[in-house]
Amino acid sequence: MEFLTSRSNPALTSIAFAVGALAAWLVLFGVTRAGADTDKAFVDSAPFQTWVGVAALASVAFIDTLVAGIRELHDERLRASEPSAKAYVGLYLLFAAIVVVTLLGGGRGGPEVPIEHWRFIALALLLLGAAGAGPWIVLVWASHALLSRYRAEIPSLHAPASDARSVADLDGMMERLLDIRSDIAAAVGRLLALVLSAVLLSGALRAALVPDPLSEAEFPASAVLVYGAFFTVVLSLVVLPLMMSWRRTATMLLNRAYPRSVAITADDAAAKDRLLAVLDLNGSLFRSPIALTSLAAPLVTSFLAVFIPQIGN
């Protein structure tokens, strides 16, 4: 298990990613060609081989995201949280089951692909993506618990920020809040990578299937767009409540450091403005780059995944 918790050499990581992608491509190429009912001409076509390449890269990205997430959960802050991150694993399995069942049911099993083991391949990729998301969603939920604990601690901090002890207490809490904001950014980045990979897979598959062997009516462009919208909703349900909780906690710290009922000097006002800037509390939640990216990126990617192949055709 040591390789899951240690930081790897960047050069070796790049080599491992390239070797992993090649291995995944060979496995997918072999599995998609196997079976008496498989359309070999379709499998060998350039559009479908493009999908195989995208799927190979996505598979390695899913595994890399899983390993990185496990490393992140070994952070001392998360291991010391109450409840611990491990307590959320069972809840994540339930959450993932709901998402997978919704996808399979809503998509009615997906398009008909002339490959004998296609259902197994599609399900394996879906489950691998769900596994990659697991540690990061657990991190998000564990961060919620930490923020609740911080909100309970803030009223007992020495404030307003007028002496060395008060400053030390407030700085310590601010540092912990900034650590959680870094965790949020990392989780959003990793979850977006998974979502965008899934959307690109759907777009590449449609480019391989339409107009032959499937018609536009059998696999419409709207199916890929709805796929992106679905993941936008899922990502929003996971991330936005944590961001709202973080802003609430940060605002609570700001008001503890500089109570509205206490007259402040010009220096205090300048210090308060600096704290506002550091905590990024000046604007609306939905002006935050993290929030905007999590909402817009899946939709934009699904749009591009649909219409760029059509331009090429």
Query: Which pLDDT score, from 0 to 100, does residue 65 have?
Result: 93
CB-CB contact of 153 with 82 (8 Å): no
Query: Which pLDDT score, from 0 to 100, does residue 43 have?
Result: 92
CB-CB contact of 103 with 230 (8 Å): yes
- Which residues make Cβ contacts (< 8 Å) with residue 42, sequence separation at least 6? 48, 114, 115, 208, 213
Query: Which pLDDT score, from 0 to 100, does residue 22 have?
Result: 95
Domain holding 193, by residue range, is 2-312
Query: Which pLDDT score, from 0 to 100, does residue 4 have?
Result: 47
Query: Which pLDDT score, from 0 to 100, does residue 165 have?
Result: 63
* Residue 214 burial (CB count, 10 A): 18
Query: Which pLDDT score, from 0 to 100, does residue 29 have?
Result: 92
Query: Which pLDDT score, from 0 to 100, does residue 163 have?
Result: 62
Query: Which pLDDT score, from 0 to 100, does residue 55 have?
Result: 95
Query: Which pLDDT score, from 0 to 100, does residue 261 have?
Result: 62
Name all contacts of 228-233 with Cβ < 8 Å and 24+ positions apart: 228/199, 228/298, 228/299, 228/301, 228/302, 228/303, 228/305, 229/298, 229/299, 229/302, 230/102, 230/103, 230/106, 231/195, 231/198, 231/199, 231/298, 232/195, 232/294, 232/295, 232/298, 232/299
First to last CA, the chain: 48
Whole-angstrom distance, CA of residue 260 vs CA of residue 145: 28
Q: Which helix (H) or strand (E) holds 59?
A: helix 46-73
Considering only CA atoms, which of 279, 239, 260, 293 is closest in space to residue 150? 279
- Which residues make Cβ contacts (< 8 Å) with residue 137, sequence separation at least 6? 92, 95, 187, 191, 238
Total structural domains within the chain = 1
Residue appearing with tokens 């905590």? 279
**How confident is the prediction along the chain (313 residues), in pLDDT tens digits per residue?**
444 445 566 778 888 889 999 999 999 999 999 988 899 999 999 999 999 999 999 999 999 999 999 988 887 777 666 777 778 888 999 999 998 888 888 877 678 899 998 989 999 999 999 999 999 999 999 898 889 999 999 988 876 655 666 677 788 888 999 999 888 888 888 888 888 888 888 888 988 998 888 888 888 888 888 888 888 888 888 888 888 899 999 999 888 887 766 566 676 677 777 877 788 777 655 556 666 666 667 767 776 666 655 544 4
3-state secondary structure 194-226: HHHHHHHHHHHHHHHHCCCCCCCCCCCHHHHHH
